[in-house]
Amino acid sequence: MKKIDEYQGKKVLVMGFGISGINAAHLLVKLGANVTANDKATPKNNDIVDDLEADGIKVITGDNPISLANEGFDVVVKNPGIPYDNPLVAAFVKQGTPIITEAELGWQIFDGHLVSVTGSNGKTTTTTLTQLMIAENAKHQVKYAGNIGISFSKIAEDLGPDDTLVTELSSFQLLGAPTIHPHIAIITNIFSNHLDYHKTRENYINAKLNITRNQTKDDFLVINWDRDEWQKIAQRSQATIVPFSRLNKSHEGSYVEDGMIYWRGQEVMPTKDIRLIGPQNVENALAAIAAAKLSGVTNDAIKKVLTTFSGVRHRLQYVMEYQERLFYNDSKSTDIEATEVALQGFDRPVILLAGGLDRGYTFERLVPYFKEHVKAMIVFGECKDKMKDAGNQAGVPVVESENAITAVPEAWKLSEPGDVILLSPANASWDQFPSFEVRGDKFIEAVEELTGKKEQ
């Protein structure tokens, strides 16, 4: 951990009691700050408040009182999910108070080698693969943190100058990380996500590009080269560009040719040996390989990881095989693009479980994928009628169910040996579940109840 005095004697407000917010509050006390912690909700667990207060932190819950904007805070550390049009946040913006996220705080105290990953899809898998690959050859600690569910600042506290940290960073986190400077940055892809938060696609792209804003030609931006738009986006970085591509050969980075993965013209391994299924995971592997090779990782270490790693939970996760049916949990597919990609990964008939929060869009884009890959659909949630319409357009049998749990036995009834039963909702979970993780866990529990087996 780097010793800094930036917060010594400063008055800091931490907004949000998530894992990152709580860790940030305690860290700021160690850094000499006078900390107030605020959450709009009242925690059900009193231990959270007790622990904060025991560390000398003033705690305010149940509201974001606008009066806090008049208390002379020097810095606000905001939970990434709190929008900038929140009245209290907007008041701080208006008066010019610096607003950062916990990722910025983590960077400020980090004293090692930083690799950071962002993108619309594939962030967590790419982060995990990159960390595993670098760790295979490392003589020092190699950890991961960030949007992957582990506090950046908490892990950074325990790492030294020779250690490596691979961080997954969301657009929300990057908006509040003005000085972050990874030596290797990865952009997996950029679609049109979170426009309810960012308002425009250009705002969203700009937030993503914060990952490379402070990079120089001595740093590396590893970026997907499969779309012209992403190639143009790369021109906005000052870093050395390292492309990865499933579709376009480029000797400057990692690519696929005739079923073989190459790094700068040298063979690495066949794509068929990657244990993770689907073209999206070939792309994730290519991104991780580029970062790993830039970090000095051997081909043998890369092969070991890619031939054994079976997936991140909720991200096209293999659950089990039962009576010649394969069950997959892809609850993280909260948008259309992710479900498109998931369906392309299977060469078996798919019983698709889909639906969720109605964000106002329809699903005509999925019709060709339904026609090619889907044998039957179980739909649920607020948008089930729209999902059903797309299934009907594709000529696929559609059954309605209450949720992702009740859909499991319905899918089983429609399945035959050789089929895949896939939860890939194409929608957020918030109409019925507090998170995609809970939705995926409940799906797995339903599969275990149906089969009498534990996930593999």
Q: Which CATH number characterizes residue 195's domain? A: 3.40.1190.10
| Measured CA angle at 261 (ends 256, 267), to 5 deg | 125
CATH number at residue 95: 3.40.50.720
Residue 13: predicted pLDDT: 98
The answer to whether residue 444 sits within a structural domain is yes
**pLDDT band at residue 196 using 50, 70 and 90 as cut-offs:** confident
**Tokens for 390?**
């797309």
Whether residue 369 is predicted with pLDDT greater than 90 in this model: the reply is yes
Q: What is the pLDDT confidence band of residue 44, given thresholds at 50, 70 and 90?
A: confident
Residues 290 and 358 in one domain: no
Question: Does position 456 have pLDDT exceeding 80, yes or no?
Answer: no
The reply to whether 119 and 260 lie within a common domain is: yes
CATH number at residue 358: 3.90.190.20
Same domain, 333 and 243: no
Residue of higher predicted confidence among 23 and 194: 23
Asked if 359 and 339 count as a contact pair (C-beta separation under 8 A), the reply is no
What pLDDT digit, counting tens, does each position of 142-159 carry? 999 999 889 999 999 999
Backbone angles phi, psi at 168, to 5 degrees: -90, 125
The CA–CA distances, whole Å, from 325 to 275, 321, 349 equal 18, 5, 10
Q: How far apart are the first and last CA of the chain?
A: 38
The answer on 294 and 326 residing in a single domain is no
What DSSP character marks residue 277? -
Task: Give a yes or no: residue 282 inside a domain.
Answer: yes
Decide: residue 252, CB within 10 A, 0-12 exposed, 13-18 middle, 19+ buried: middle
Say yes or no: 137 and 167 in one domain. Answer: yes
Decide which of 312 and 229 is more confident.
229
Q: What average pLDDT does the chain have?
A: 95
Beta strand 374-380 with 266-270 is unpaired
Task: Assign 313 a pLDDT band (cuts: 50, 70, 90).
Answer: confident
Q: Domain range for residue 118? A: 103-308
| Rounded average pLDDT over 216-230 | 97
Query: Is residue 407 scored above 90 in pLDDT?
Result: yes
What is the three-class DSSP state of 282? Answer: helix
- DSSP symbols for 46-82: HHHHHHHHHTT-EEEES---GGGGGS--SEEEE-TTS
Question: Within a domain: residue 6?
Answer: no
Q: Is residue 5 part of a domain?
A: no
Would residue 119 be called left, alpha or beta, if left means φ above 0 and alpha means ψ between -120 and 50 degrees? left
Torsion of CA 103, 105, 106, 111, to 10 degrees: 140
**Mean pLDDT score, 222-226:** 97
What does the alpha-carbon distance between residue 123 and residue 149 come to, in Å, rounded to a whole number? 12
Nearest to 425 by CA among 351, 336, 311: 336
**pLDDT band with cut points at 50, 70 and 90 for residue 310:** confident
Residues 134 and 96 in one domain: no
Averaged pLDDT for residues 429-451: 97
H or E segment and range at residue 393: helix 384-394
Residue 193 has pLDDT above 90, yes or no: no
Verify that 276 and 147 share a domain, yes or no. yes
Checking DSSP bridges between strand 266-270 and strand 260-263, what pairing results, if any? Answer: antiparallel
Q: Specify the DSSP class assigned to residue 258.
A: T
Q: Which of 80, 100, 120 is the last residue of a domain?
A: 100
**What was the pLDDT predicted at 26?**
97
312: confidence class by pLDDT, cuts 50, 70, 90: confident
Q: How confident is the model at residue 307 (pLDDT cuts 50, 70, 90)?
A: very high
Q: Does 171 share its domain with 253?
A: yes
Q: For the residues 117-131, what does the mean pLDDT come to?
A: 95
In this prediction, residue 162 carries a pLDDT of 97
- Mean pLDDT value of segment 337-346: 90
The C-alpha atoms of residue 431 and residue 435 are separated, in whole angstroms, by 10
Whether 365 contacts 336, CB under 8 Å:
yes
- pLDDT category of residue 455 using cuts at 50, 70 and 90: confident
pTM value > 0.75: yes
Do both 270 and 411 map to the same domain?
Answer: no
Using 50, 70 and 90 to split pLDDT, how confident is the model at 251? confident
Cβ atoms of 75 and 7 within 8 Å: the answer is yes
Query: 197 pLDDT exceeds 90?
Result: no
Residue 4, in any domain of the structure: no
Q: Are 184 and 291 in contact (CB under 8 A)?
A: yes
Domain check: are 212 and 225 in the same one? Answer: yes
Per-residue pLDDT tens over the stretch 48-71: 999 999 999 999 999 999 999 999
Query: Based on the number of CB atoms within 10 Å of its own CB, is 235 exposed (0-12), middle (13-18) or buried (19 or more)?
Result: exposed
The total number of structural domains in the chain stands at 3
- Please say which residue of 289, 308, 327 terminates a domain: 308
Residue 250 has pLDDT above 90, yes or no: no
Domain membership flag for residue 3? no
Report the pLDDT value the prediction gives residue 43, as an integer from 0 to 100. Answer: 85
Using the 8-state DSSP alphabet, how is residue 237 labeled?
-
pLDDT of residue 217 exceeding 90: yes
Q: Helices 336-344 & 279-294, crossing angle to 10 degrees?
A: 100
Instruction: Match 């426009």 to its residue by tokens.
Output: 195
Within a domain: 271 = yes
Crossing angle for the helix pair 123-137 and 279-294, to the nearest 10 degrees: 40
pLDDT top residue among 121 and 163: 163
The stretch 227-256 carries a mean pLDDT of 95
Per the model's pLDDT, the better-predicted residue between 278 and 38 turns out to be 38
End-of-domain residue from the set 100, 119, 134 = 100
> Can you tell me the mean pLDDT for 193-210?
90
CA distances from residue 130 to 150, 151, 181 in whole angstroms, order as listed: 16, 18, 18
Residue 106 pLDDT more than 80?
yes
CA distances from 390 to 110, 222, 396 (A): 48, 36, 9
Determine, yes or no, domain membership for 38: yes
If 0-12 CB within 10 Å is exposed, 13-18 middle and 19+ buried, where does residue 399 land? middle
Q: What is the pLDDT of residue 259?
A: 96
pLDDT in tens, 161-184: 999 999 999 999 999 999 999 999
Both 335 and 293 in one domain: the answer is: no
What confidence category does residue 46 fall into, taking pLDDT thresholds of 50, 70 and 90? confident
What does the pLDDT average to over 365-391? 97
Buried b (16+ CB within 10 A) or exposed e, 259-285: eebbbeeeebbebeebebbbebbbbbb
Q: Are residues 324 and 295 in the same domain?
A: no
